[in-house]
Amino acid sequence: MRHALVAVVLTACGGTPEAPPRPETPLAGGDTTTCDQTTGAFSNPAPNLNDQDLSLHLAGDVAFDATFVTPPATVNAGLGPVFNNRSCSACHVKDGRGLPVTGKGAQGSMALVRVSTAESAIQTEGAPLPVPGLGGQLQDHAVYGVTPEVTVAIAWTEEPGSYPGDGKGYSLRRPKLTIERADGTPLPADVLTSLRIPPPVFGLGLLEAVPEATLLALADPDDADGDGISGRVNRVWDEAAQSTVVGRFGWKSNAPNLVQQAAAAYLNDMGVENPLLYVEAPELDGPTLSAVSFYTRTLAVPARRDVGDPRVMRGEVLFGEIGCASCHVPELKSGASPFAAVTDQRFQPYTDLLLHNMGFDLADGRPDFVASGTEWRTAPLWGVGLAARVLVGAAFLHDGRARTLEEAVLWHGGEAERSRDAFRGLRAGDRAALLAFLESL
Ligand code: HEC
Ligand code: HEC
């Protein structure tokens, strides 16, 4: 059956009678592409997994959904004592992005707040320095009998703006965090905070398998080509390798690989000690950690839609012309990998995985390894057009401040300021074309 599906991908995927697929358009996820455009579009196993790998993926799917509980339960015990949520899928709902919720208790639902002390930048290896008594992340939930570390409330302030050409108005919202410690006191004034929503988790094995040399070749830290865009790699601590490597995952490319990303989520988001990261003794076994990482490595990438639609094609041209593609690099290639399904693939993630200065308005002011307080990883754009279908209210940008793709573009600053201004300067029809292109991803 799965072989039949692959044939469908190559011939019919993404087309409608009005807008048939263009045969030359590369598949979004190479051989890992799925045709599914439903609310489950992010939750399919890559169609090119062999039977053994499919079993491992499905075991990982179970682990991703597993709800953790308090010891001494015998199954999925190990939650807490403090935590943010009880399962991977409670935050990465349907394997997609999260949404920030307004008001108190907002954090625990999906988004989380990373914290560190101001001296982080000078620490060895550049890792953010944990805050005494709080660690590197605020946990606003706790098991029975334990007091959560903090309560986090999010409020939004609206800021009006308008397009210079036709005067069409818009409103952008900025988050304001109020954090109270268990004893009612505020955090010390020098604690740096960074609110982050969960990114989607499909297609990540492909990104993990992009050769480091490719990323270094895309980087232009001193802007040698003078285009105003100077991406650079993050360099982060790899716990298994016990060395500093190029970062790829997280909103600041602050994690080196998918095993460590999962291990950190178990430890910090759920309070589950695991074989890679533990304080006292692992509460999770090695095979489960491998399976859940494999799951995030091998989720299929949804195919593009409406690629033959003239408006979408016009938007694609504009995307290149106004400089979006300088950071959101359309195509990457994976190299050798221990994981067959993601080896040697040509795919379209629309990211360079590099850090860019995005300006003061988007800054969190909290360094994360090499990444400064104004730098963020170019967010992959594959699947953004399906985000709202997968989860109503799904938001964009690191803290979920953008309610729409249009708002996400309007927040761009720093190295992307020229590109954003070019977007604001487009005629209404061209703005709509650019957004239609984003919706087709
Ligand atoms: C409390 C909510 C929450 C829980 C629970 C959670 N995550 Fe996440 N996840 C996040 C956030 C927020 C980020 C972004 C982190 C950052 O930028 O540092 C993230 C990032 C990731 C990424 C990186 C995606 C990318 O594009 O870079 C992966 C992979 C991931 N999580 C997997 C998992 C797995 C596996 C689990 C369960 C073991 C899990 N997460 C549990 C909130 C959560
Ligand atoms: C200088 C590099 C750069 C340029 C140029 C750039 N972007 Fe981005 N883009 C980023 C970064 C970095 C982020 C993540 C920022 C954040 O989360 O705060 C991002 C985020 C986005 C998002 C939100 C994605 C998500 O997952 O939340 C969209 C949509 C987007 N960009 C579209 C565009 C468009 C359209 C253009 C051209 C008008 C453009 N970008 C130009 C770097 C760039």
For 260-282, how does the pLDDT look when each residue is reduced to its tens digit (9 = 90+)?
A: 999 999 998 888 999 999 888 98
Note the pLDDT of residue 144: 78
For a mutational test of ligand 2's pocket, the pick from 327, 376, 406, i.e. the residue with the most ligand atoms closer than 8 A to its C-beta, is: 327
Q: Which amino acid is at 322?
A: I
Q: Which amino acid is at 362?
A: L
Closest residue by CA, ligand 2 atom 30: 409
Tell me the Ramachandran region of residue 234: left when phi exceeds 0, alpha when psi lies from -120 to 50, beta otherwise.
beta
Note the pLDDT of residue 1: 38
Of all helices (H) and strands (E), which one includes residue 13?
none
Do 100 and 197 meet the contact criterion of CB atoms below 8 Å apart?
A: yes
* Atom number of ligand 2 nearest to Cα 396: 27
Q: Residue 233: name the closest of 377, 336, 367 by CA.
A: 377
**DSSP 8-state class, residue 253:** T
Number of domains in the chain: 1
Kindly give the distance from the C-alpha atom of residue 351 to the centroid of ligand 2, in angstroms, as a whole number.
9
Note the pLDDT of residue 19: 55
Kindly give the distance from the C-alpha atom of residue 98 to the centroid of ligand 1, in angstroms, as a whole number.
10
Note the pLDDT of residue 58: 98
Closest residue by CA, ligand 2 atom 41: 324
Note the pLDDT of residue 7: 40
Of all helices (H) and strands (E), which one includes residue 309?
none
Do 130 and 149 meet the contact criterion of CB atoms below 8 Å apart?
A: no
CA 337 to chain centre: 22
* Atom number of ligand 1 nearest to Cα 112: 12
- Rounded distance between C-alpha atoms, residue 62 and residue 52, angstroms: 16
Question: Which residue range is the domain that position 160 belongs to?
Answer: 2-439
Note the pLDDT of residue 264: 93
Kindly give the distance from the C-alpha atom of residue 156 to the centroid of ligand 1, in angstroms, as a whole number.
23
Report residues of the chain scoring pLDDT below 50.
1-12, 106-108, 124
**DSSP 8-state class, residue 274:** -
Of all helices (H) and strands (E), which one includes residue 355?
strand 355-357
- Alpha-carbon Rg for the chain, nearest whole angstrom, is 21
Kindly give the distance from the C-alpha atom of residue 258 to the centroid of ligand 2, in angstroms, as a whole number.
23
For a mutational test of ligand 1's pocket, the pick from 88, 110, 141, i.e. the residue with the most ligand atoms closer than 8 A to its C-beta, is: 88
> 181 - beta bridge partners?
150
CA 138 to chain centre: 19
- Rounded distance between C-alpha atoms, residue 440 and residue 346, angstroms: 19
Note the pLDDT of residue 131: 82
Note the pLDDT of residue 17: 55
Ligand nearest to the CA of 360: 2
Task: Check: pTM over 0.85? Answer yes or no.
Answer: yes
